[in-house]
């Protein structure tokens, strides 16, 4: 049996007991390990993920990705680099370095791991390597700076990762931090746009996202306000710039 194909078909990580239940033998597992098609993040677990994959490293520590690390692994809008945030069971023991499973986390130096003791229990059978998205986003809102949290919420709403019911539940859980959801929008297209909107609003500038152009503005004539502004300041008008250009060319 192709053990690696079996693991990949079930999400990328299975424990030994579950693999036996699905028909894989120890010989199949050893053969896959020798071939490099399977890796072992922890004792008794087998994965098709690369050892550099953050999900694999979180499993090696002893849990799953959470918070900003989970969002980054899912392709969310993340500003800069972050430590590896790992959710582990409240009674977890034998935590390891994210880089080597033979080194205890307590002995690892500069491991760049933030452990969140929040998971109710260890995964059994299989794991996605990532906590549920609402849980990850709630942690982002509670631990990251406001502009990063708003950017993640913009991404979630833009991509439809959470439906209205899930957003309402998240809003209820956030309590005083629910204003972060109010500050997010559904029509933001990128991280730079999200950051610009948040920073401009913080500076007191009124901002609207993805405003459509009128036909007149698209042709360069602008609306009533733009025409009135040109009437008050003729030097700013295209006609003035055109006349000034001709005058400069005609001057010997």
CA distances from 125 to 2, 143, 150 (A): 18, 31, 35
pTM: 0.78
Tell me the per-residue pLDDT of 57-109, one tens digit each, with 9 for 90 and over: 999 999 999 999 999 999 999 999 999 999 998 888 889 889 888 888 877 77
Using the 8-state DSSP alphabet, how is residue 90 labeled? T
Tell me the per-residue pLDDT of 129-156, one tens digit each, with 9 for 90 and over: 999 999 999 999 999 999 999 999 999 9
Using the 8-state DSSP alphabet, how is residue 89 labeled? E
Predicted pLDDT at 33:
93
Task: Specify whether the CB–CB gap between 89 and 57 falls below 8 A.
Answer: no
Supply 17's token pair.
């007991």
């Amino acid at each position: 049996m192709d053990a690696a194909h079996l693991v990949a078909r079930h999400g990328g990580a299975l424990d030994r007991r579950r693999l036996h239940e699905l028909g894989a033998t120890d010989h199949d597992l050893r053969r896959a390990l020798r071939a490099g098609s399977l890796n072992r993040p922890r004792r008794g677990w087998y994965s098709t993920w690369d050892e550099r994959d953050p999900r694999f490293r979180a499993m090696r520590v002893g849990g799953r990705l959470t918070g900003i690390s989970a969002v980054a692994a899912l392709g969310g809008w993340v500003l800069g680099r972050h430590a590896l945030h790992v959710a582990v069971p409240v009674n977890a023991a034998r935590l390891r370095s994210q880089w080597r499973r033979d080194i205890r986390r307590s002995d690892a130096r500069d491991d760049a791991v933030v452990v969140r003791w929040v998971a109710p229990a260890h995964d059994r059978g299989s794991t996605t390597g990532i906590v549920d998205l609402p849980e990850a986003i709630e942690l982002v809102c509670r631990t990251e700076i406001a502009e990063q949290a708003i950017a993640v919420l913009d991404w979630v709403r833009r991509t439809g990762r959470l439906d209205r019911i899930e957003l309402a539940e998240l809003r209820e859980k956030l309590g005083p931090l629910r204003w972060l959801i109010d500050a997010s929008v559904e029509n933001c297209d990128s991280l730079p746009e999200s950051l610009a909107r948040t920073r401009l609003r913080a500076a007191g500038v009124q901002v609207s996202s993805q405003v459509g152009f009128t036909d007149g503005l698209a042709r360069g004539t602008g609306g009533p306000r733009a025409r009135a502004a040109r009437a008050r300041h003729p030097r700013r008008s295209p006609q003035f710039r055109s006349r000034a250009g001709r005058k400069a060319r005609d001057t010997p």
